[in-house]
Every structure is written in C-alpha cells, then in structure tokens.
Structure 1
Amino acid sequence: MLSVYKRYTLIFIIISTVLRIFLASSLEFGNDEVYYWLYAKYPAISHFDHPPMVGFFIQFFTFNLFFDNELVIRLAAIIPISIAMYIIFLIASTIKNDKVGFIAVLLCNLNIYALVISGTFILPDAPMILFWLLGFYFFIQSITEDVITESKTKLLLGFLFTALAIYSKYQAIYLLFGVVLYIVSFRIQWLKTRTFYLGFIFPLIAIGLIFYWNYTNDFISYKFHGNRVSFFSGSFNSTAFLREILGQIIYNNPYLFYLSVLFLLAIYKKKLTDPKLYFILFCSLPLLLTTIYLSIYRNTLPHWSGIAYITLIPGLALLIEKIPIKRLVFGFAFMLIMLITALFSVDKGLFIPVDNFAKKERLGKNDVTLDMFGWKQASDKISSNLIKKQLTQLPIVSNNWYPAAHIDYYIARPNKMKVYGLGNLANIHKYYWINNKYRPLEKEVLYITDSRNYKNPSIFQSNGYQTSELIQKTPILRNGVVVKYVFVYKLFK
C-alpha cells in the first residue's frame, strides 16, 4: 500500500508532466533543440558537440521520427525527467523518509533547470539527468552501506547507469569522481572487492565508443571542448564569472541556491553528519567548483552545473523537513504563473521591447524569444512560394548551424529539401558530416537566413557563388507587428 506522501508525489509528478506537455506543445523549437533533432535524423556513435544519447532518445520516443513534431520529440525530455523526479523521491526517502522524498520532488519542480530547461526542452541534459540519478540511487544504496555482500549488484547497476549518463553528456564523469572520492574517504573496504573494479568496465565502454569516434575524426570533440573549457588560460574574465554566478542563481531558483549554501554550511559545521549527505556533497561540489573556476577565464553556460544542484536536492529537502509544505506548493504555483507569463511573452511579445532597427536585415537581432517564434509562419509563407516557383529541387545552404537547423526542420523537411553547411567546422558543426552524405552542390542553390542571424550572401563567393538574387523577403508578424524578416536568395556559380 502506498504511503500518503508517495501518493502525493505521484500526483504531483503527473501535474508537472501535464504542465510540461502544455509548454512543449505551445512553443517552437529553440536553436539547440532543433539541432539535436539532427542527432536522431543522422545517428552516429558520437557527435561533434556531445555523445549521442539524446538522439537515441528522440528516435525511441518518435519511433525513429515517424511522429515528427515538437511535442512528440520533446517527450524524450518530458518523460525521462518525470521518471527522474520519482528517483529523487526514492533517494530522499532512502536518506530519511517519504515526507522528505515528497519535499525533494517539490523542490525539483522549483528548479528552472529541472522543470523547463532539461524537463521540457530536448537537450542532452534530459537523458544525462535520468541516468545520473539512477546511478546515484544505486550507489547510495551500496557504497554507503557497511554490508558489502548485499550491495554488489546495486554497485554494478550504479556503474552501468553512470556509463549511460556519460554517453549522454560529458559532465557525468563527475559522478564517478564523487564515488571514488567517497569510497576513499569513508568506505575504503570497497577497494578490496573485485566488484568495484569490474564496475568500471561499463564507463570504459561508453568512453571507448566516444574515443573511437574521435579517433576516426581527428579527435575533433576534444579539440572543440578543450578550447571551451581550458583550465589554464587567459586573465580574469569578470563578465563571464558574474554571468556564471548569476546564471546559476537564476537557472536553479534563488531560493534553492540559498538552501544550497545553507546545506553546505551545515555539512561544514557538522550539523548534518549522515554519511549519505557526504556522498551527495562529493557528487555535486566538484562540478560546481569546476564550472565556477572555468568562468574565471572562459565563457561558460550556467546549465553545465545544473545536475550538481539537482543532486543536492535530497539534502536540501532534509534541511527544510520541518517547514510547512504549503509554502513549497505556493512556490510552485508562483513558478507556474511565471512560466505562463513567459509563454505569452514569446507568443504575443508581451513585456518585450520592440526593436527599432530601420535596416530590415537587423530587425529582431536583440530579441532572443524569436529563436522560438516565427519559424512555422516562415515555413508556410516560404514553402508556398518555393513550390509555385518550382525551386524545391534546389538545395539550401547556410553558413552556421543556427539558423541552419531551424531552416532544415521547418522549411527543408516538409519540402524534402537538403540543407548544406558552408563554412568552417566551428560554425557548421554537424553539417560538416551531413554534407558528406549528399552529392556535391550544383551551380544553383538557395540561401535562407533571417534578420536575427543575417549574413550577406557575398559570404559564399569563396565557395564559387559569385551572383545572388533576392527572391523573397518574408515579414514575420507577432501580435500584428513585424518582428523580423526571413530572406530567400538564389545563388549562382
């Protein structure tokens, strides 16, 4: 029989899932999301930017893209994160009881990174979070226990799911680091068991697949990420550092950030001494410190450390066990209001300053919400003209992975057209490999771009396209106001 808090947990996860389905069905793809659709369309054992798991998830939930729309593709994030929320309940219940587990689920839904960024939008973070938490759950049930003989199977499962997390996103290597750090500090007897070393076979397989792909591609992923996350380079970058700190506060909710600081202080002052809480600390703090350190020298992204904050949540739930639960429910209601407001901001342009660029090629350049608005509108207006002028047999070229992926999904896909990336690898990313799947470009191609990412067609002169002709300039309207333009050029050799 289910406990009352377990029933509350399941009901709340269902409410959260319905909310995220509503959001997913109401918004067009963002730049990153539509790019990861390419992982499913062109699967491989690894990719330039990330390991391939997000593409495999999309293939699974869409029946290999048989159902190909925003909502179904985003189910590859929504469903895994719903499962991950229940795993958080199990982890927190293991630490104390089902009430703490329920509080942990409430806190998870207050985390913007968990609820929206990885729980609604399709990113590599969704499968990584699911597998990380599964691995963490089995690790906390094995290595934190004194009885080794009863925990070996759980230990192997922990390694297996950690391997799958690594095959989703590189950050998951920090879970392995946390395990080793905890064992060396508290459970050194595990080092005397063959099971512990046997478990590393799973992560090594995942790393081996990624390594093999890079070996056959000049180790391009390592070079790319090495330039982004170099540990020893440059001088203090105050802008990047402040952006990272503020980003972590906002992405993970200021209230949860505050609780995280209190939790770390409680551990430091030994007010909380349960060994399981130290395991939480060892699996979260190294990644947090690494991202903050990297931001001192390099531009970083706040969601890189998101899984660390999620790992802290069971500890935060224990910390606030005695506060009234209704406060957290009210917090979720406030979060819901904010999300609906954000949705209307994207769809109706509410609270968003209108760009006043007189030059149409720059209209909307500063409006980031346009990355998730207007592409369906552009598809309808441009597709009908391309069909009318019998231009759908021509390939489309772009100089950057964005907006190339948007053009690929919303314009090329429904018209069965091909998109090529022309430019250096740092700009075109996966299109470098996609190009090789197609026949060489012809003397006539189409170039499609929008005013948020506009580049003059002369950039393709080095590719032999010396002449261009503007064949369509499409205004994109939001709430009756033109917010950007999409341009279609015909290029000639």
Structure 2
Amino acid sequence: MAPFLELGNDEVYYWTYLLRPDWNYFDHPPMVGWMMRLFSLNGFWASEISLRLGSIISYAISTWFIFKIGKLLSSERMGWYAAILYSASIYTGFIAGFFVLPDSPQMPFWTGALYIMGHLILRKADQNNWSIWILLGLVIGLAALCKVHALFLWAGFGLFILIQKRDWLSNPRLYIAALITILCLTPILYWNIEYDFITYRFHSERVSNTGIQIDSFFQEIGGELLYQNPIVFVLVWTAVVFFLLKKFRFKLNRIGTWLICMSLPMLFIFWGIALFNPTLPHWSGPAYIPLYFFVACWFEQGKPVFFPFIFKIAFALVFAVLVVAIGAVQFSPVNFGSKSPESYGEYCPTLDLSGWKNLGENFKLMVTDDVQNGEMNKNAVLLTNKWFPGGHLEFYISRPLNMPLIGIGQLQDLHQFAWLNKERPTLRLGMDAYAIVPSNLPLNVTDAYGAYFKTIQKPEKLLQQRGGGVVRYFYVYQLKDCIKIPNPLIH
C-alpha cells in the first residue's frame, strides 16, 4: 500500500525532523527523525515507500516480540493469538505499523521492554543478571526517545514490583536500570534547557481546562474503540471481565497482575485527562497491548483452533475498511467534508493523502511561466503560516523545485518550521514570494502576509480532480516586493 497513498499531514511534517538534525524537537523526541534518516538513506531516497519502510519494519519486529511474549507466558499458541490481535488492531497494525509517526519506532521498544520484563518475572535466574536489567533500562530509554510517555513502562512495572516483588526493591540492578533510562533522556533535557522547556510549556497549555467535559471523555472511549478495531476492543474488555470473574487463569497469578499493572493505570490516567481536556485516542494505544494477552489466554484455554473465526472477522473488517479508504482517497469524485466555497473540502480526511504530488507538477509549470514572463523573480520563495499544510508544501513542492519554504506566523502554528527558518535564506527586501492556500485550509493571505509585501495579486485557482469530480481547490498567490522582514521566532 505504501506507494499508493501520498504522505499524510503528520508524515510530511516529521520529514522536517530529517532536514534539521537536533537533540529534540518542538513536538517530540528525535527517534522518528532518526528512523526516517536511516531508511531514506539520509534523505537521498525520499519517497512514500522509503519514509514508511521504517514503520513497516518496526511493526514486523513488534509482532515478533508479541509472539515471543505469549510463548514465554504460556505457549506458542498464546503468542500466535496475541500476534493476530496485535495485527488486527488498527492502532498497532496500521496507524503505528504503516504511517510515519513517533509511535512507529516506539512499538519495537515498547514490546521489547514487555518481553524483557516477562523474563525477569518468570525466570528467577534472570533476576540477578546485570545484562537483563541494563537492557531493560536501555530499551525503555530508547522508547522514551520516541515519545516521553514510554515512562509509563516504568510506572506500571514499579506498581507491579510494589504489589508482587517488593524484595526487588533491595536489588541494585533495578536502580541502575532506571538510571540508564534517565541517561537516555539527557538529549531531551539538554534541548529543553536550551529553549527554556518550550515543549512542555506548549503542551501544558493544551491541558489547561478545568471543567468536566463529558463529550471529550466519550470521544476518547469511542476513539479507542475505533482505533483498536471494534471487534478487538470488545474481545479485550470481555476477556478482562472474564478474568476478573475467574472464568480463566494464567499459569501463574503474577502474570495477570503484571499485565493489569502495565495497562489499566495508564488507561485510567488518559480517561481522567479526557474528562477535562480533549485527547487523541492513539495516546492510550500502547496501554491495550498487554490486554491482548488476556484474549490470547482465554482462547488458548478453549477449543484449540489455529485461526479462530472471530479473529478472521476482525481481520476482514480491517481489510474492508482499508480497501474502502484507499478507494476513496484515489477515486472518490466528491470530498467528504465541507461543500462551502469558502472552505471546500474542509474536514475531509482523504485530502490529506492525495492531490499534493499533482499540485507540485502544476505549480512547477506555473513558476516557469511566471519567471519567463517577468511576473516573478527567479529567486522567489514559498511561504507557510502553519505546520500544516507546511509539511506537504515542503515535501511535494519546495523540495522537488528547490524553492525555499519560509514560515511566517506564530510559533504555536509553525512548530518545527520556526527552527528551519534558522537554516534557510531569510526574506530580503524586494524579494517575491508565493503562497499556496488549499481550500480545505482557508487562510486570509492579506492578514497573514500583507504587512510584509507591497502587493498581493489575485490568486490563480488550480483544481484537484478525482474520479471525474473536483474535490479541492488550490489558490496560488503572488506576493511581490518584500517591504518588511519578519522577526525571528527562535534565536
């Protein structure tokens, strides 16, 4: 599927991490940028396949770890069932397993950490093995370099230790492992000290609401149902209830306690946040991974079936959704969002994954004509005021045309583009620029850029056509004769 879908909003934005190596970034730690750098050959091979290849391989490794955990806990059959559930979950099997997200490189480390914990819990000889503990601290640290919420791994494991393994509190290996995780976080700490902890000041503003928001809570639960696959979601919670009712048991009681500690506290925290603030359902996605083993144990203790029918239905649902989604992205003659002329296509998710490559080709022809006709300077730049559609403009237009993309706006809108401005030629007096405004992301160009240019020409409208219908417009503005230089947002 990778070459048949253009990169989405988040994917093209994380491409900007590759353009400017750093210890940390405004939105996330650096691992997703390192992953893309590795599989795109340091950006030399830049395509939908190369950027997504790291996510796909990460998914394969994670699935293998899930199988190994199940085999360790009980048998190969349990591992097989858990691996099926991991693949049938839309979050682990497709969102993190296909798209370029910080979750993608995190999954091998998250599942790897669970595998190491399983060894420590079930194999007494490993509990005094320095290398096992050191590896655990390193793997959790690397997971945190993907997304900091990987520290929940230590929180859940610590809770299990307090409940079941308090004698480990006198084991120095535990504290050395935790110290190694902390050392892994030093790049994040160093960068945030340099920029006055700007990441956490930004994110704290997103969780500042104080009133109870029931709608937000149910949106989180509904999002988890969809992201986990409705069938997997129902199976997971049915299995948890059956386990609590003692309908089935793991071979050792401490296994169930450990899996609950690695899952439910994290879910409860995000549900609590959702009661007061809007959340995104993929934030809690990793908390469901330990719960897959409850389903696997339940089915393992039933009639031995290689591929249970309900699992096949779960896969069939995912397959049908993906086929319909790809068909809509590639061939739908209508957009599924706003039909208003002022915001045509707004809130249509298929437009994030289509139309940009063709826009780049048409825009290149337009620029060539403008320069030949003397309408624009040959050193004209491209502008953006937000990270979206800035990411698409960067990957599909600025990069192939070798036209610098400059961000003008607020830091909370530009994100990484504020840092990219430091690496690029700045606007100069007398310079010309282009602004491309997709109809699904309406922008008043005069308000955004009018203070910096002498004149702004009436836009030319390009059409995005699909399946014989027009699904979006792109308005291309010519901004002429720069009269003011924007102040830098980052020093």
**1:10 alignment counterpart:** none
- Tell me, yes or no, if the aligned pair for 1:106 and 1:329 is still in contact at 8 Å: no
The alignment status of 1:483 with 2:459, answered yes or no, reads no
Superposed displacement of residue 153, structure 1: 2.1
The alignment status of 1:94 with 2:80, answered yes or no, reads no
- Tell me, yes or no, if the aligned pair for 1:460 and 1:466 is still in contact at 8 Å: no
The alignment status of 1:264 with 2:234, answered yes or no, reads no
CA distance in 2, matches of 1:419, 1:97: 54
- Tell me, yes or no, if the aligned pair for 1:144 and 1:187 is still in contact at 8 Å: no
Matches within 5 A, 1:321-360: 321=300, 322=302, 324=305, 325-327=307-309, 328-349=311-332, 353=336, 355-357=338-340, 359=341
Once the two structures are superposed, residues 201-236 of structure 1 have per-residue CA deviations (whole angstroms, 9 ceiling, x without a partner) of 221122222111011011111111212245xx4211
CA distance in 2, matches of 1:229, 1:268: 33
The alignment status of 1:228 with 2:214, answered yes or no, reads no
CA distance in 1, matches of 2:105, 2:207: 22
Residues matched between the structures, number: 467
Superposed displacement of residue 243, structure 1: 0.9
CA distance in 1, matches of 2:122, 2:447: 59
462-471 or 393-402: bigger deviation: 462-471
The alignment status of 1:290 with 2:253, answered yes or no, reads no
- Tell me, yes or no, if the aligned pair for 1:458 and 1:466 is still in contact at 8 Å: no
**1:53 alignment counterpart:** 31
Matches within 5 A, 1:39-438: 39-147=17-125, 150-229=128-207, 233-270=209-246, 271-272=248-249, 274-321=253-300, 322=302, 324=305, 325-327=307-309, 328-349=311-332, 353=336, 355-357=338-340, 359=341, 361-390=342-371, 393-438=379-424
**1:34 alignment counterpart:** 12
The 1:262–1:127 alpha-carbon spacing in structure 2 relative to 1, beyond 3 Å, is same
Q: Aligned AA for 1:237? A: Q
The alignment status of 1:454 with 2:442, answered yes or no, reads yes
- Tell me, yes or no, if the aligned pair for 1:354 and 1:483 is still in contact at 8 Å: no
CA distance in 2, matches of 1:284, 1:228: 24
- Tell me, yes or no, if the aligned pair for 2:457 and 2:479 is still in contact at 8 Å: yes
Superposed displacement of residue 127, structure 1: 0.9
Taking only aligned residues, the RMSD between alpha carbons, in angstroms, comes to 1.9
Superposed displacement of residue 466, structure 1: 4.7
- Tell me, yes or no, if the aligned pair for 2:336 and 2:347 is still in contact at 8 Å: no
The 1:338–1:318 alpha-carbon spacing in structure 2 relative to 1, beyond 3 Å, is same
Superposed displacement of residue 471, structure 1: 5.0
221-230 or 185-194: bigger deviation: 221-230
CA distance in 1, matches of 2:228, 2:314: 13
Q: Aligned AA for 1:276? A: I
Q: Aligned AA for 1:356? A: K
Residue 185 of structure 2 aligns to a residue in which SS?
helix
Residue 54 of structure 2 aligns to a residue in which SS?
helix
**2:426 alignment counterpart:** 440
Q: Aligned AA for 2:397? A: I
Residue 470 of structure 1 aligns to a residue in which SS?
coil
Superposed displacement of residue 417, structure 1: 1.2
The 1:403–1:143 alpha-carbon spacing in structure 2 relative to 1, beyond 3 Å, is same
Q: TM-score normalised to the size of structure 2?
A: 0.91
273-282 or 156-165: bigger deviation: 273-282
CA distance in 1, matches of 2:368, 2:291: 54
Q: Aligned AA for 1:67? A: W
CA distance in 1, matches of 2:128, 2:282: 36
Superposed displacement of residue 269, structure 1: 3.6
Q: TM-score normalised to the size of structure 1?
A: 0.90
Superposed displacement of residue 465, structure 1: 2.5
CA distance in 2, matches of 1:334, 1:70: 25
- Tell me, yes or no, if the aligned pair for 1:143 and 1:155 is still in contact at 8 Å: no
**1:469 alignment counterpart:** 457
Superposed displacement of residue 461, structure 1: 4.4
The 1:124–1:451 alpha-carbon spacing in structure 2 relative to 1, beyond 3 Å, is same
The 1:467–1:258 alpha-carbon spacing in structure 2 relative to 1, beyond 3 Å, is same
Superposed displacement of residue 369, structure 1: 1.1
189-198 or 115-124: bigger deviation: 189-198
CA distance in 1, matches of 2:447, 2:439: 16
CA distance in 2, matches of 1:86, 1:132: 12
The 1:478–1:350 alpha-carbon spacing in structure 2 relative to 1, beyond 3 Å, is closer
Q: Aligned AA for 1:366? A: Y
31-40 or 250-259: bigger deviation: 250-259
CA distance in 2, matches of 1:54, 1:402: 18
Once the two structures are superposed, residues 96-133 of structure 1 have per-residue CA deviations (whole angstroms, 9 ceiling, x without a partner) of 10011111111112100112111110000011111111
CA distance in 1, matches of 2:249, 2:334: 44
Superposed displacement of residue 440, structure 1: 2.2
The 1:237–1:408 alpha-carbon spacing in structure 2 relative to 1, beyond 3 Å, is same
- Tell me, yes or no, if the aligned pair for 1:148 and 1:190 is still in contact at 8 Å: no
Superposed displacement of residue 280, structure 1: 1.5
**1:18 alignment counterpart:** none
Superposed displacement of residue 350, structure 1: 6.9
Once the two structures are superposed, residues 320-360 of structure 1 have per-residue CA deviations (whole angstroms, 9 ceiling, x without a partner) of 22254241234323421221111101111178647532x2x
Residue 109 of structure 1 aligns to a residue in which SS?
helix
CA distance in 1, matches of 2:130, 2:256: 21
